[in-house]
Amino acid sequence: MKNNIYDKYLVEEKMPTMWCPGCGNGIVLQSIIRAIDEMDLDPEKIVFVSGIGCSSRAVNYLKFDCMHTNHGRAIAFATGIKMANPELKVIVLTGDGDCASIGGNHLIHACRRNIDLTVICMNNSNYGMTGGQYSPTTPLNSFTKTSVYGSYEPPFDLCDLTKSAGATYVARCATYLPVQMKDIIKKALNHHGLSFVDCASDCPSLYGRLNRLGDAGEMMLRWKDRLVSVTQSQKMSEEELKDKVIWGEFVNKSDRMEYTDIYKENIRRAKEAAHE
Amino acid sequence: MTMGSYRIMTGNEACARAAIASGMRFFAGYPITPATEIAELCSELLPKEDGVYMQMEDELASIGAIIGASATGKKAMTATSGPGFSLMQENLGWAYINEIPLVIVDVMRKGPSGGSATLPAQADIMQTKWGTHGDFRALVLTPNSVEEIYTETVRAFNLAEKFRQPVILLYDAVLAHMSEKIYVPDKDEIEVIDRAKPASKEGYNPFRYSDSSVQPLGHFGEGYNIHMSGLTHDETGFPVSNQDTTGLEILIHHLFDKIDDHYDDEIKKYEAYLCDDADVLVVSIGITSRSAKSAVKKARAMGIKAGLFRPITMWPFPHKDLSRYDIHTKAIVTAEMNNGQLNQVVIEDIDRNQKLVMKNLYDGNQIRDIDILNSIIEANKYEK
Ligand SMILES: Cc1ncc(C[n+]2csc(CCOP(=O)(O)OP(=O)(O)O)c2C)c(N)n1
C-alpha cells in the first residue's frame, strides 16, 4: 500500500538517512511531513530551503522543490524565493550553527522584516556535521570537541533572540514531544509572518557521548524532567526554572504587517506617484 | 517599428535601464561606492514594473536572494564593488554549480580591501575569473563606454538566460560616473532572450550532463519537484556519493563544455582596431582602452604601425583571435589600472621573440594616452 506519509513525501531511494542512530532530526522531519499532510497543503506550492549541517541534509530526503544552499545562507535564498513568488510556502530547515552562528544576521533580519517564512531549527546544541564542536546554543560548561575543559561561550536562547528581533510566531518544542511538535509546526505553517520553531533535539553520537549523557534512549528520557510548558513556567520561580527547558508558544501575534504585503503597498505607492 | 532616442546618462544609469529593458524584475543589493546608483535607480524604477527591489543585510544575502528569485523564474541582478564582490564568492559558486542565470555588476574600485572607494581601478580582472573556489567557466563582459554598458548589460542577461549561469559585468568607476550621449533603443529594437522552458514536468531532471547543451530550467513552485544542492550532484540534483568518481567529474566537464562549445559563435566578442598590419599591439579593456585607442591613432600619425585589441568578452579570453593578429607583431603593450593582470593573460599568447611592455598604473589616476604612446614607442624600438 503506497499511501502512507512516507511514500507520499519522502524519497525512498535515498534511505537510509545519513543520520546516526538516535539522532533527533528524523523526529523533526516526521513532524513536518505529518503537519503538511494534516493541513492538506498543496505540495507543489511548498519549497524547502536549507543550509549546511546534518539538519540541513533533511531536504535530501524530501519529495518537494528543495534547495540545499550554503552554510548559514538558507534564509537569504528563501527570502528571494518568497519575494519573487509570495504565493509559495517557504520552509527553512536549519541547525543551531547554521541559523544562529554563521547565518545569524540573516535570521534576525528576516525576523525584523516579518517575512512569511517558517524557520525550523533542529537544535542539537553542537555542530554535528563537523564532529561535535560547540555552537551558539551549547550550554555553558558542557563538553564538546572544542571545549574540552567545559564551554566558556555564553549561549543564545533562540526564542528570545527571534522574539526581540521581531518574529511574530515563536515557539519551542522537543523531540520528546513529537505530537506537540507537529501541532506547533502546523501553527507555524499557518502563520502569516515570520515563524520560528526551535526544536530541542539530541545528538547522542557527539554531544551526548562527550558529556556522558548515556545512549539515545537515556538522552530522550532526560527531557522528561527538564521540559516545562510555558503555562507551567509562569508559576515557577527563577530558581526552579534553572536547568529547565521551556516549551510552547512564546509569541503568536498579528499586529505587524507581513513583508511581502508591505512590499505590495510599495508597488502601489510607486504606481500612484507615476500617475501624479 | 518605433525608434529609440538619444539620451545623456551615466554608466550606472545605463546599466540599470538596460537591465530593466532586458526584463530584469528582481534586484537585491547592498549600497557600495561606486555601484550604488544602480541600486538607487532600481529602487525607483522596479516597483513601477511590479518588480522587486530589496536592500539586503549584506552582500551574501544579496546574491542569495537573487539566486532564490532566479530559481522561481525572475531575471535577477545585483551590483557591487570589490569588497562586496569578495563577500559574494561562496554563493556565486552555488550559482555556478546549480547553473542559475544571474547578472552581477562589479564596478571596480582601487583595492585591496577597502582600498580607495572613489578611485577607479581595474584590479578585479582575475577575481572575476577565479574568485570562488573550484573549477568553473566564468562569463565576464567588459564594456568601455556608457553606450556599451547599455548593450553589454542586455547581452549579459541574454547570455545568462541562454547558458544558465551567472554573468559578470565588469567596469570601472570612471565609466560608472561619466555622462555620455547614448542611443537608447526602443523596446522592440532590443533582442531579449528568455530561458528555455522544459518540455514536460514528467520525469524532469534539473540538470543534463550527457552533452554540452543546457537543460531548460524548471522553476521552483511550479510542480517540477526540483532538487538543487551546492554539493556535487547528478542530473537529478541529488548529491552523488564520494565513491562515484566519474559522477564527481562529469558535472565539472559540463560547466566547461557548455561554454567552450559555444564560445566562438555565441560568446566571444572583441574589438580589433588597426590590428591587421600592426607591429605593436596594445591590449586593454574598459576606460583604459579609450586612452589606448587615442595612443594608437597618435602612433599611426607618427608612422608606427600600432593597433588595439580590446576584449569585450573578457572571460573566457579570446586567445585564438589575439594570436591570429599577434603572429605578425614584434611587441605587445598591455595597459591596465592594476599591478599586472591582463599582462599575465597575454603572456600566454606571445613567443619568446616578442616583447611584452607593461603599462600599469594603480595610484587612482587614469592612464593617459601619452603614457601608452610612450610604451608603444618603446615597444616599437624592439627588433624581432
Ligand atoms: C562556510 C562554511 N564554513 C564551515 C563549514 C563546515 N561546517 C559544515 S556543517 C557545520 C556546522 C553545522 O552545525 P549545525 O548548523 O548546528 O548543524 P548540525 O550538523 O548540528 O545539524 C560546519 C561548521 C561549511 N560547510 N561552510
Q: Which pLDDT belongs to residue B348?
A: 87
Ligand 1 atom closest to A52 (CA): 9
Architecture of domain B271-380: 3-Layer(aba) Sandwich (3.40)
- Residues B120 and B94 sit within 8 Å (Cβ to Cβ): no
Whether residue B61 has pLDDT greater than 80: yes
A contact test, residue of B25, B133, B228 with most A CBs within 10 A: B228
**A150 phi-psi bin (left φ>0, alpha ψ -120 to 50, beta other):** left
Q: Is B40 on the interface with A (CB under 8 A)?
A: no
What is the average pLDDT across A240-259? 97
Interface of B with A in 230-249 (CB under 8 A): 230-231, 238-239
Which residues are CB-contacts of B265 (< 8 A; sequence separation ≥ 6)?
A: none
Measured between CA atoms, how close is B223 to chain A, in angstroms? Answer: 5
Q: Looking at ligand 1, which residue's alpha carbon is closest to its atom 24?
A: A71
- Can you name the residues that pair with B53 across neighbouring β-strands? B27
Q: Among A83-92, A241-250, B34-43, B348-357, which stretch is predicted with the lowest mean pLDDT?
A: B348-357
Q: How far is the CA of A50 from the centre of ligand 1 (A)?
A: 12
CA–CA gap between residue A222 and residue A227 (Å, rounded): 9
Separation CA B84–CA B58 (nearest Å)? 8
Count how many Cα atoms sit within 13 Å of the Cα of residue A181 in the half-sphere of its side chain: 24
DSSP letters of B166-205?
A: EEEEEEEHHHHH-EEEEEE--GGGS----PPPPS-STT--
Tell me how far apart the alpha carbons of residues A46 and A32 are, in angstroms, rounded to a whole number. 12
pLDDT tier, B383 (very low <50, low <70, confident <90, very high otherwise): confident
- Of the listed ranges A31-40, A136-145, B166-175, B342-351, the least confidently predicted one is B342-351
Name every chain B residue with its beta carbon within 8 A of the beta carbon of A109.
56-57, 61
Question: Do the Cβ atoms of B48 and A78 come within 8 Å?
Answer: no
As a whole-number percent, the residues of chain B with pLDDT over 70 amount to 99
B265 contacts chain A (CB < 8 A): no
Question: What mean pLDDT is predicted for residues B339-359?
Answer: 92
Q: Is A28 in the pocket of ligand 1 (CB under 6 A)?
A: no
Q: Where are the domains of chain B?
A: 5-189, 271-380
Amino acid of residue A81: I
Contact A52, A87 (CB under 8 A): no
What is the least distance, in Å, from the CA of A183 to any CA of chain B? 25
- Number of domains observed in the structure of chain A: 1
Distances (CA, A) of A275 to A16, A226, A272, B42: 59, 61, 5, 18
Mean pLDDT calculated for residue range A161-188 = 98
Name which CATH class applies to B5-189: alpha beta
At residue A70, the 3 state secondary structure works out as coil
Out of A56, A119, A127, mutate this one to test ligand 1's pocket (max ligand atoms within 8 Å of CB): namely: A127
Please give the residue range of the domain that contains residue A219. 5-274
Q: Give this prediction's pTM.
A: 0.98
Please classify residue B328 by burial: count the beta carbons closer than 10 Å to its beta carbon, then call 0-12 exposed, 13-18 middle and 19+ buried: middle
Looking at residue B57, the DSSP 8-state letter turns out to be S
**Residues of chain A above pLDDT 90, percent:** 98
Q: What is the pLDDT of residues A46-77, one digit of tens each?
A: 999 999 999 999 999 999 999 999 999 999 99
H-assigned helices in chain A: 5-9, 25-39, 74-84, 96-97, 104-113, 158-165, 178-190, 209-210, 216-226, 230-234, 238-241, 259-275
CB proximity B23 to A under 8 Å: no
How far is it, in rounded angstroms, from Cα B66 to Cα B27? 7
- Give the span between the Cα atoms of A197 and A185, in whole angstroms: 7
Compute the half-sphere exposure of residue B119: CA atoms within 13 Å on the CB side of its CA: 16
Residue with cell string 572544542: A146
Question: Residue B64, Cβ neighbours under 10 Å: how many?
Answer: 34
B231/A84 Cβ within 8 A: no
User: Does the pLDDT at position A276 exceed 80?
Assistant: no
Task: Determine the Cα angle at B108 with ends B267 and B9, to 5°.
Answer: 80
CB contact under 8 A, A84 and B69: yes
> Residue B231: closest CA among chain A residues belongs to which residue?
A68
DSSP structure class, residue A211: T
Q: At a CB cut-off of 8 Å and minimum separation 6, what does B60 contact?
A: A73, A76, A106, B87, B88, B90, B91
**Hey, whose CA ends up nearest to atom 23 of ligand 1?**
A130
Contact between B119 and B172 under an 8 Å Cβ cutoff? The reply is no
- Residue A48 CA to ligand 1 centre (angstroms): 18
Q: What is the CATH number of the domain that holds A228?
A: 3.40.50.970
| Per-residue pLDDT, B54 | 98
The ipTM is 0.97
**Alpha carbon distance A181, A189 (integer Å):** 12
What pLDDT shows up at residue A1? 44
In terms of CA atoms, which chain B residue is nearest residue A74? B64
The candidate with the shortest Cα–Cα distance to B296, out of B311, B326, B274, B276, is B274
The finding on whether A202 has its CB within 6 A of some atom of ligand 1 is no
Does residue A195 line the site of ligand 1, with CB under 6 A? no
DSSP labels, A197-208: EEEE---IIIII
Q: Which residues, including other chains, have CB under 8 Å from residue B221's CB and lie 6 or more apart? A: A44, A45, A47, A65, A81, A85, A87, A88, B72
Q: Cα separation of B207 and A116, whole Å?
A: 30
A83, B54: Cβ pair inside 8 Å?
A: yes
Q: With 50 as the cut, is the pLDDT of residue B211 above it? A: yes
Task: Please answer yes or no on whether B48 and A274 come within 8 Å at the CB atom.
Answer: yes
* Mutation site, A85, A94, A115, interface B, largest B CB count within 10 A: A85
Q: Is A119 exposed, middle or buried (0-12, 13-18, 19+ CB in 10 A)?
A: buried
Neighbours of B139 (CB within 10 A): 24
Q: Report the distance separating Cα A176 and Cα A24, nearest Å.
A: 9
Same fold, B5-189 and B271-380: yes
